[in-house]
Structure 1
Amino acid sequence: MEPPEAIEQVSAGEADAAIIFRYDTLPHFLRIDETLHFEPLGADPLRLLVRRSSAIGKAYERNREPVDLTAAHAETWIAGCATCRANLLKLASRAGFQPDIRHSTDDYWATQNLVEMGMGVSLVPTLDTKIHVQDDLVACALRDADASRQVGILTRVHDARESLGLLRNELAETARHYLQPIPTVE
């Protein structure tokens, strides 16, 4: 389930824990109150998913330099879940444009298929690209430092059961292999 629904499940006691993501660009988008605890596991940078044959794809393949989000300002867009869509709108606004969102899906495979068919471009998490990116697509690194999400575990405050401690430890160990450390603010 998406983060808002997962938060509701943990808050209501329907679930003991949830792995959720959140965006620093949207600090108040998710309602995590004082009864819940979010423990970040790592950062998951976003990528711009484009067709390899597009101008952006060709340029990225040629030099492997991160691209600016503005490179896709004139493209049609495929948005994700409500949280991801809000993040896309925020990032695009900061970059000085309004994305022309024509499609919306929270299914990564459907997103790939839509991009492959030339229906638009999309922001996707790096984690999704570790599974598989179709041969005629490229997931371009982005230059924007805010183009990232935090992935973490959500539990109820003061829930100190041993099983949750073991879960946290296993998730933290796994996250070290797939997520980047979260930059510290000084």
Structure 2
Amino acid sequence: MEPPEAIEQVTGGEADAAIIFRYDTLPHFLRIDESLHFEPLGADPLRLLVRRASAIGKAYERNHEPVDLTAAHDEAWIAGCATCRANLLKLAARAGFQPDIRHSTDDYWATQNLVEMGMGVSIVPTLDTKIHVQDDLVACTLRDANASRQVGILTRANDTRESLGLLRSELAETARHYLQPLPAAE
């Protein structure tokens, strides 16, 4: 389930813990009040998913340098869940354009298929690209320092059960292999 639904499940006692993501660009989008505890596990940079044969894809394959989001300002866009869509709109606004969102899905495989068919471009998390990226697609690193999401574990604030402590420990160990360390607080 997406973060808002997972938060409801933990808040309502339907779940003891959830792994959720949140964007620094949207500090108030998710309602995590004092009854909940969010423990960040790491950062998951976002990537621009494009066709390898596109101008952006060819340039990225040539030099492997991060691309500006503005490189895709004239493209049709495929948005994700409501949280991801809000983040896309915020990143695009910061880059100075309004994305032409033509499709919306929270299914990564559908997103890849839509990009592959030339229906648009999309922003996807690096974690999704570790599973599989179709051969005729490329997931370009973005130059924008805000193009990232935090992944973490959500629990009720006063839940100190040993089993949740073990879960946190195992998730933190696993996250070290897949997520980047969070930037140090200033």
TM-score range, shorter chain: over 0.9
* Unmatched segments (≥5 aa) in structure 1: none
Cα shift at 1:158:
1.3
Aligned counterparts, 1:29-178, within 5 A: 29-178=29-178
Q: Distance in 1 between matches of 2:105 and 2:145?
A: 24
Cα shift at 1:26:
0.1
Q: Distance in 1 between matches of 2:185 and 2:146?
A: 13
Q: When the two structures are aligned, how many residues end up with a matched partner? A: 186
Q: Distance in 1 between matches of 2:98 and 2:185?
A: 29
Q: Distance in 2 between matches of 1:141 and 1:68?
A: 9
RMSD of aligned Cα (Å): 0.3
Q: Distance in 1 between matches of 2:184 and 2:109?
A: 33
Q: Distance in 2 between matches of 1:5 and 1:179?
A: 23
SS in structure 1 of the partner of residue 32 of structure 2: coil
Q: Distance in 2 between matches of 1:185 and 1:162?
A: 28
Structure 1 consecutive aligned stretches of length 4 or more whose deviation exceeds 6 Å: none
Q: Distance in 1 between matches of 2:165 and 2:158?
A: 12
Q: Distance in 1 between matches of 2:122 and 2:41?
A: 24
Q: Distance in 2 between matches of 1:170 and 1:131?
A: 21
Cα shift at 1:154:
0.1
Deviations 1:133-178 (A, max 9, x none): 0000000000000000000000001101010000000000000000
Cα shift at 1:9:
0.2
Q: Distance in 2 between matches of 1:106 and 1:152?
A: 19
Deviations 1:85-131 (A, max 9, x none): 00000000000000000000000000000000000000000000000
Cα shift at 1:185:
2.4
Cα shift at 1:14:
0.4
Q: Distance in 1 between matches of 2:102 and 2:95?
A: 19
* Unmatched segments (≥5 aa) in structure 2: none
Cα shift at 1:34:
0.5
